Structure formats: C-alpha cells, structure tokens
Amino acid sequence: MSELTVLFVGDLCGKPGRQAASYIIRELRRERDIDYVIANVENAAGGFGVTPEMSAKIFSYGVDLQTSGNHIWDRVQILDYLKETPKLLRPGNYPHGAPGSGVYIDEVNGAKIAVMNLMGRTYMAATDCPFRTADRELRKIHTETNVVILDFHAEATSEKQAMAFHLDGKISALVGTHTHVPTADESISRNGTAYITDVGMTGPHDSIIGMDKGPSLGRFMTGMPKRFATATDDVRLNGVLLQIDAETGKALTIERIRKDFDLGEYQSGTNDEEV
C-alpha cells in the first residue's frame, strides 16, 4: 500500500453526536475509500466521559480506534474497560499508574499506523510533560512505523502550535481536539506533518460547545454551578481527512470535513445508536 486515507472525527458529544457518527462514518468510508477511522469519544456520554457500552457501539459504526482527553475518567466504569480495550486511548502523559495506554500501533492493509493521544497542560489538569512524553514514545514507535497520528487534546492554541513545531517531520499529523470549535488553519509543513489547531466536535452546534445554552449562560452570568445537559439542534459531524505516504509517513493532503446531520433525513436507513 503506497498511501493511507485516514479520517479523524472530532469529539463526539452526547447522543446527537453518537447518532450522527452512527450514520455518517460508514457513508464516508464508502464515498471516500477510507482505510482507517479515528474518533475522539471523551464526551460521548452526555458530554462527560464514555461508558463501555457506548465505546463498544461506536466501534461498530466503522471506527477503528478511539481517543479521549480530560473527561475520560468521568464514568468510573470505564477504568476496567480501558485495561481491556487497547484501541480506546487515554492521554499518554497521565502519571504512571493510570489505567490504559496513550499509544496503539495497528495494521491496515499491510501497513502499520500508530495513533498517539496526549493532553496539554495550559489551563488543564496537571499531567506529565506532553513534549517529553511524545519524544519518549516516538523513539519506540519509529522502530515499527513512520505513520504517526497525534490527537493533542489541549486548550491553548499556542501549546498546540508549539507541539506541532516540536514534532515537525517526526509525525504524520497533529490533530487538535478539546475546544469543540473547528479552526480553519489546516496545513502541511515542508517536512510533511499535517496540522489543524482544532478539528471541532460532532454534535449539536446550536449550543455552547455542545451543552444547552441556558445553564451555560447562567453559570457565566452568576458564577453559580449549573446542571448541564447536551443540546439537540443543528447537529454536525466535523473531522479531517488525511492522505499519508505509507512508507515515509509524510502527509500528502489534509481536508476539513463537515457533514450536517438531520435525523429525519436518515430515518429510512439503519440506525444502530440505541444507547
């Protein structure tokens, strides 16, 4: 195989995001002849975490590997599942002793692809250094493959850009997640590393980053805690499509993907999203 076509799907948010993924990912795989699909699932359970049942169901939508972020620990039942499911990653720079792994190397039609998951530290919970963690993991990964995709789950644009420069030419792509707002800065460096600051989310966009507007506004205006619920309207799938040289690991193209989703228009199809 000379080239790999990889779809990265932005943060699935609540049931609307899962429903959109359940229909659209298979459709995209057929239309764009996609070899491998990665999806960030840390907000799949009502915006906060993911359950084992949901993760298993999401794999059935045509997702090959799942990444996450700071909300991965929000559902306690995920702890044992992480130990048993190497294709669900958590950020690899959590301290030693955290269950699960931040790297997985898979095989796709005779080629190997490594996916790495890291979390930023600026305005985020304290973790080990993502830069040094990346260096350490890449020393091992590069003994097996040059094709490496990093989900960098971080708040600050500057930290994501810094990571892209730090790993320029060492990885195939850095895809930013966490803010749920897609950016329009997709690019490929001279050294063959694709980059986008944030791929955006898959879920309801008539919202404040996926949540109902009322409680979110109330929290900003009063400073009082509010109970958040996933919004339901203006559902979209956001992602990026990557073409990568399977031998060198260099990115050839990066394309932003946006698919609007109206459940009513898909009712005649098969919906596997029941959780």
Q: What are the E-state strand segments in the chain? A: 3-9, 11-12, 36-40, 65-67, 103-108, 111-119, 148-153, 173-177, 187-188, 194-196, 201-204, 235-245, 251-261
Beta carbons of 134 and 125 less than 8 angstroms apart = no
> What is the rounded CA–CA span in Å between residue 190 and residue 187?
10
| Residue 174, phi then psi, degrees to nearest 5 | -115, 120
At 185, list the tokens: 């800065």
Nearest to 254 by CA among 205, 210, 189, 166: 189
| Residues assigned a catalytic role | 71
Beta carbons of 205 and 234 less than 8 angstroms apart = yes
